Structure 1
Amino acid sequence: MPAVSSRLPVFPWDKLEPYKATAAAHPDGIVDLSVGTPVDPVPELIRKALVAAADSPGYPTVWGTPALRDALVSWVERRLGAANVAHTNVLPVVGSKELVAWLPTQLGLGAGDRIAYPRLAYPTYEVGARLCGATPVVYDDPTELDPAGLRLLWLNSPSNPTGRVLDKDELTRIVAWAREHDVLVLSDECYLELGWEAEPVSVLHPDVCGGSYTGVVAVHSLSKRSNLAGYRAAFVAGDADVLGELLKIRKHGGMMTPAPVQAATVAALGDDTHVTEQRARYAARRTALRTALESHGFRIEHSEASLYLWATRDEPCWDTVAYLAGLGILVAPGDFYGEAGERFVRVAFTATDERVEAAVKRLG
């Protein structure tokens, strides 16, 4: 049997291992600003909800409990400004990366179909296209693409890696174009609650989608906002026909969010206090690292939202990675996210306060 992995690019993070070893050799230890994994504690009310639901011997459902669907609907309306959201407009998933990677396959896309995503982008959009045998296509402005054979359009605002935010007018124009050409829009909005110099807007906002969810689906995750990367808690919201089809397929595939995680998600979405507190932590780390990097000669572009600084010294990204590794600081090379990032690095500010302070001192 042919190896499916042969369709895929080399797993990018493996390339970073030698630089990680260099950084780890620093006398004061490594400051890992590469992956962007949460490091702060899971909020207590979420842990309590998880523990309270730990006695869950039966199978959970793919669609989730009514309480979970109520929580998803309430959050989508309250936080995204969406209107008239029903249970058929929401679906929990087992982490957003799983959804991104397997959604094209689950929707029956394959050879002859085209899937588009930003020129600088999260690598899993390309992986999803290649897994199903479709053709991956990159864009600067999606409305300039040839719509022939284009079945799926990924948006990502706020962007990973650049932190760029698409404003309401841009989103409205793109959604209108996609509908005109019968292209499904999948909007990855996992960093929506982490806007710093811009206020991110969802494609589900009525000013963008016109109050109709036809042809639009938003992807959301609790990994960053609630420190739940280890829980694999995420969901999609939007077009009821698309989500209904996914629900049927995912039932057959047994793609169920564990019952305790469903209960924890309900608690997380019903509380804004822990989100505000976590934002304050990230804001302080962002300011400290940005100031230190700019003082050290780096230029920061975009970065108006998300958990990253898109930084450059106007040199090949791997030279920058090696330079910072020599200071004991590990960052992600920009070319992990496309050739257009070859002179940038992505700097996460998800490290602890103590490690961020260490990085600031080394850059001083």
Structure 2
Amino acid sequence: MSEAAPVSSRLPVFPWDKLAPYKATAVAHPDGIVDLSVGTPVDPVPELIQQALIAASDSPGYPTVWGTEALRDALTGWVERRLGAVGVAHENVLPVVGSKELVAWLPTQLGLGAGDKVAHPRLAYPTYEVGARLCGAEPVVYDDPTELDPEGLKLLWLNSPSNPTGRVLPKDELTRIVAWAREHGVLVFSDECYLELGWEAEPVSVLHADVCGGTYDGIVAVHSLSKRSNLAGYRAAFVAGDAAVLGELLQIRKHGGMMTPAPVQAATVAALGDDEHVAEQRARYARRRTVLRAALEAHGFRIEHSEASLYLWATRDEPCWETVAHLAELGVLVAPGDFYGPAGDRFVRVALTATDERVDAAVARLS
């Protein structure tokens, strides 16, 4: 009897491992590395969120997968207030253990497998493809999802604002895509984790009443507190939308024990109830974005899209690894665009997630 191939054999090589030699070059810079590759927050967790976590730290019992009533109230309230959704009930929200976990395991939890298709943008966060491959489904890419063959297409990922490009889908385009997906019975999951970080465009949620017509049939939005509230280390995220889809996920996740820790649930309530810290963090990123963009452009880069999110999508019209090597010699580490698909092979993604001091160091080296 032959042994089954390991699940990992279905997956691409973990891309970040390829950056190791370039990181070593950047680290050797006399003034140290400026790491603009991974979009991980570096600024402090706001004090009110830390205090909420501490106050809930005596939590000896198991939390529930659906979360506390206070958490569900916070989620529904925020979705209505911030996203322009209407009539959001507890059945329309579900906390998850960080959005990457949700993206990676969603096709499996939806029961997808061989013969099913999962679509994602041509330039995209790699975990959309990983999620399809984990369950044996076929990942397909698109430029315009409404041009896809809907036969066998079970899950359509949208991502606005985009990682890596920062592109924002306008409201009328979202409305058109949702209508097409509903017509063909295709489930839409919209990754909106950067929605609070629009710079030159105002991102719109798929749950906005003008987009979905006030009904959540066939659509779910994915949101994270990692970037808006510096909570990447807390693994605090949630989904909102179609009650039937979320009800099914809730049942499966109960069996799998996929519970957001109780202190993190309390911290999420505090984070969603306060807009001031979000505005403060936006101001930090806006300043970093302004100086980095100017320095990159002065250095010969062209910035495309980048109207939102935490990244600048930059090119010198050369293979991306040549750009990575060039910047590494300056002690600046960035992500090669081909991490996000072959269409990115002449771009690099430059993250805004470094301290002001490190960003200013990068600016000085680029001048």
TM-score, normalised on structure 2?
0.99
Residue 60 (structure 1) shift: 0.1
Look up the match of 2:161.
Answer: 158
Look up the match of 2:59.
Answer: 56
Residue 211 (structure 1) shift: 0.4
Q: Deviations over 1:21-59 (max 9, x none)?
A: 000000000000000100000000000000000000000
Does residue 1:321 correspond to 2:320, yes or no?
no
- In the alignment, the residues of structure 2 paired with residue 349 and residue 260 of structure 1 have an alpha-carbon distance, to the nearest angstrom, of 29
TM-score, normalised on structure 1?
1.00
Q: What is the letter of the counterpart of residue 75 of structure 1? A: W
Pick one of 330, 345, 350 that aligns with 1:342. Answer: 345
Note the residue ranges of structure 2 that are not aligned, 5 or more in a row: none
SS of the equivalent of 1:187 reads strand
Residue 2 (structure 1) shift: 2.2
Does residue 1:200 correspond to 2:209, yes or no?
no
Pick one of 288, 305, 315 that aligns with 1:312. Answer: 315
SS of the equivalent of 1:218 reads strand
Look up the match of 2:302.
Answer: 299
Pick one of 322, 331, 336 that aligns with 1:333. Answer: 336
Q: Deviations over 1:154-189 (max 9, x none)?
A: 000000000000000000000000000000000000
Q: What is the letter of the counterpart of residue 266 of structure 1? A: V
Pick one of 175, 180, 183 that aligns with 2:178. Answer: 175
Look up the match of 1:148.
Answer: 151
Q: What is the letter of the counterpart of residue 87 of structure 2? A: N
Does residue 1:358 correspond to 2:358, yes or no?
no
Does residue 1:209 correspond to 2:236, yes or no?
no
Look up the match of 1:122.
Answer: 125
Look up the match of 2:231.
Answer: 228
- In the alignment, the residues of structure 1 paired with residue 209 and residue 84 of structure 2 have an alpha-carbon distance, to the nearest angstrom, of 7
Pick one of 183, 187, 212 that aligns with 1:184. Answer: 187
- In the alignment, the residues of structure 2 paired with residue 183 and residue 52 of structure 1 have an alpha-carbon distance, to the nearest angstrom, of 43
- In the alignment, the residues of structure 2 paired with residue 347 and residue 20 of structure 1 have an alpha-carbon distance, to the nearest angstrom, of 14
Look up the match of 2:221.
Answer: 218
Does residue 1:107 correspond to 2:110, yes or no?
yes
Look up the match of 2:44.
Answer: 41
Q: What is the letter of the counterpart of residue 229 of structure 1? A: A
Residue 223 (structure 1) shift: 0.1
Question: How many residues of Structure 1 are paired with residues of Structure 2 in the alignment?
Answer: 364
Q: What is the letter of the counterpart of residue 347 of structure 2? A: F
Q: CA RMSD in A?
A: 0.3
Pick one of 96, 102, 118 that aligns with 1:93. Answer: 96
Does residue 1:270 correspond to 2:273, yes or no?
yes
Look up the match of 1:2.
Answer: 5
Residue 100 (structure 1) shift: 0.1
Residue 301 (structure 1) shift: 0.1
Q: What is the letter of the counterpart of residue 119 of structure 1? A: R
Q: What is the letter of the counterpart of residue 71 of structure 1? A: A
- In the alignment, the residues of structure 2 paired with residue 110 and residue 70 of structure 1 have an alpha-carbon distance, to the nearest angstrom, of 35
SS of the equivalent of 1:154 reads strand
- In the alignment, the residues of structure 2 paired with residue 269 and residue 36 of structure 1 have an alpha-carbon distance, to the nearest angstrom, of 21
- In the alignment, the residues of structure 2 paired with residue 192 and residue 247 of structure 1 have an alpha-carbon distance, to the nearest angstrom, of 25
Look up the match of 2:81.
Answer: 78
Q: What is the letter of the counterpart of residue 322 of structure 1? A: A
Q: What is the letter of the counterpart of residue 237 of structure 2? A: A
- In the alignment, the residues of structure 1 paired with residue 40 and residue 303 of structure 2 have an alpha-carbon distance, to the nearest angstrom, of 21
- In the alignment, the residues of structure 1 paired with residue 56 and residue 49 of structure 2 have an alpha-carbon distance, to the nearest angstrom, of 11
* Percent of aligned pairs with the same amino acid: 87
